[in-house]
Amino acid sequence: MPRGSSLAVVGPSGAGKSTLASILGGLQEATEGSYRFDGQEMCGLSSLAVARFRADHVGFVFQNAHLMDERSAWRNVAVGLVDATLARPDVEQRSREALALVGLASVADREAAPLSGGERQRVAVARAVVKRPQLLIADEPTGSLDQKTGQAVLELLFSLTATGATLIIASHDTRAAALADRCVTIVDGALAA
């Protein structure tokens, strides 16, 4: 896939979409086959090399936002920055910029607990993009959202390809397929173009 493009992986629940997303993002090891990221063979890498790949290149958005409720929105976003060379003011600035990118600059200092479902999911998107990843993987990002909020989150995710990030979205939501540059269907663990 070229940089800045998008792929939707659609199919019924239990088909293997999340497993594929986990393998592509380095969260799970493939049991067979192989794939390359930026020319680098990914299968067979050491655990340390895979962890470095995730930290340097991949941002994740999951169905549940997984926020720390007692922390402010910007501090939740800051968790996505794993660059130890950044000074605290730079971490805060980048986190606030990421929140502004997803339309949440006004809630940066609010605790996560009272945020709406859509706001929580957009904070999760900000956390995924704060490190400016080359690859953004979204696994069922609209699964717990109402139709209107889900559409807004999808549009936000797909707009991020303009920043150069490649988006892979695994979803049973057919709206993702309509927005993607390319769509594949997965059924019983097998891809069908």
Domain membership of residue 129 (yes or no) is yes
pTM: 0.88
Number of domains in the chain: 1
Give the residue carrying structure tokens 């993009």: 129
Query: What is the per-residue pLDDT for 193?
Result: 58
Backbone angles phi, psi at 4, to 5 degrees: 80, 10
Domain membership of residue 104 (yes or no) is yes
Domain membership of residue 42 (yes or no) is yes
Query: What is the per-residue pLDDT for 2?
Result: 85
For residue 174, pLDDT beyond 90: no
Higher pLDDT, 166 or 82: 166
- 85-135 pLDDT, tens digit per residue, is 788 889 999 999 999 988 999 999 999 999 998 899 999 999 998 988 999
Domain membership of residue 73 (yes or no) is yes
- 131-162 pLDDT, tens digit per residue, is 889 999 999 888 877 888 888 888 888 988 98
End-to-end CA distance of the chain: 14
Domain membership of residue 1 (yes or no) is no
Rounded Cα gap, residues 96 and 126, in angstroms: 9
Domain membership of residue 168 (yes or no) is yes
Domain membership of residue 115 (yes or no) is yes
Q: Which of 181, 159, 130, 167 is nearest to 24 (CA)?
A: 167
Domain with 119 in it: what CATH number? 3.40.50.300
Domain membership of residue 85 (yes or no) is yes
Rounded Cα gap, residues 176 and 170, in angstroms: 8
User: CA 97: distance to chain centroid?
Assistant: 17
What is the token pair recorded at 108?
Answer: 């940066």
Other Cβ atoms within 10 Å of 14 Cβ, number: 12
- 11-35 pLDDT, tens digit per residue, is 888 888 999 899 899 898 888 888 8
Helices and strands, counts by H and E, the chain: 7, 8
For residue 77, pLDDT beyond 90: yes
Residue 139 is part of which domain span?
Answer: 6-192
Query: What is the per-residue pLDDT for 36?
Result: 85
